[in-house]
Structure 1
């Protein structure tokens, strides 16, 4: 599965498509919030690539249909509330998205595998992430890849109430 997906590093020319893909994927699960800026996706190069992180896109027939990235964990990230003793070599996996029309083809798995490989090659030792409880497919992907659920938090954002799960994996 996922054989026809070409995975490569984000380029600035991909910015618009990445934002569109994010919106489509989040709308598909009922989690898109209108008029809330996604600063990291507005500045992928600065947020991810220039700060010891990574951001990958997956293409089928020249069209970006999958994406994901990781960032070096900062001490003020809310995940440290659940895992205060994380090593300095910890990254946060984020923005894993697959276009709704291309899901269930192994594309999320391919993006994840490429990100994990790059994290290992750079000497990172731990990956953490959060995902909504309602995202069963995402949770399945992470659990299949050896992530352990280590925390749970109920959040209210812009009058929406939802449950987040926190995961951790040692590399």
Structure 2
């Protein structure tokens, strides 16, 4: 995968079906499937939940295919929660997750956030590695939707 093959851009309404399918295929590939409806309502309203609220939602295309995605959901003026970061299983282990994370962090800084927090399941060891090597600190562990999860946070560079 060469650098110029990946195009990052903001979510548009026409992306909704592809985003839904990527979420399901990437989640199922790692053995995570929450209760439908409540757990996934945000993906039915990406524009409202992420963008209109003052956050963002980024999609990454390789050619015509949606290869990765992720959202920033405002918690308050200083903190954004990183949500729904997914990489298509066919494009994993090529650095795309790290590139997407950098893109989302850059958007968070541009939007004025000082911190990013997130959670990931304990079974998603690859995701844990991506977050930890990018400077995210484990804050606690707990349960969400029946899964053991790790909660992380990171102070964004250049933010007072």
If the length of structure 1 is used for normalisation, what is the TM-score?
0.85
2: CA distance between counterparts of 1:169 and 1:35? 29
Question: 2:154 aligned with 1:169, yes or no?
Answer: yes
Alignment-derived partner of residue 135 in structure 1: 124
| Number of residues of Structure 1 aligned to a counterpart in Structure 2 | 154
Cα displacement string for residues 11-49 of structure 1 (whole angstroms, at most 9, x for unaligned residues):
000000000000000110111246445111000001111
Alignment-derived partner of residue 27 in structure 2: 26
Check the 8 A contact 1:72/1:90 in 2, yes or no.
yes
Question: 2:61 aligned with 1:100, yes or no?
Answer: no
Matches within 5 A, 1:1-171: 3=3, 4-33=5-34, 35-36=36-37, 38-73=40-75, 88-155=77-144, 157=145, 161-171=146-156
2: CA distance between counterparts of 1:53 and 1:162? 26
Q: In structure 1, the residue corresponding to 2:60 is in which secondary structure? A: strand
Cα displacement string for residues 86-144 of structure 1 (whole angstroms, at most 9, x for unaligned residues):
xx410000100001111011111111111101111121100000000110010001001
- Structure 2: runs of 5 or more not aligned: none
> Runs ≥4 in structure 1, deviation > 6 angstroms?
none
Per mean C-alpha deviation after superposition, the further-off stretch among 31-40 and 3-12 is 31-40
2: CA distance between counterparts of 1:2 and 1:94? 26
